Amino acid sequence: MQNILFYSQIIVSILLALSILLQQKSAGLSATFGGGSNSYSSKRGLDRLLANATIFFAILFFGGAIAHIFV
- What are the residues whose beta carbons fall under 8 Å from the beta carbon of 58, sequence distance 6 or more? 16
User: Do 68 and 23 meet the contact criterion of CB atoms below 8 Å apart?
Assistant: no
Q: What is the pLDDT of residue 36?
A: 56
64 belongs to a structural domain: yes
25 belongs to a structural domain: no
For 10-45, b/e burial (b = at least 16 CB within 10 A) is: eebeebbeebeeeeeeeeeeeeeeeeeeeeeeeeee
30 belongs to a structural domain: no
57 belongs to a structural domain: yes
45 belongs to a structural domain: no
Domain that holds residue 62: 1-20+50-71
Q: What is the pLDDT of residue 13?
A: 97
User: What pTM, to 2 d.p., does this model score?
Assistant: 0.74
* Total tally of structural domains belonging to the chain: 1
DSSP code for 26: S
Higher-confidence residue: 46 or 27? Answer: 46
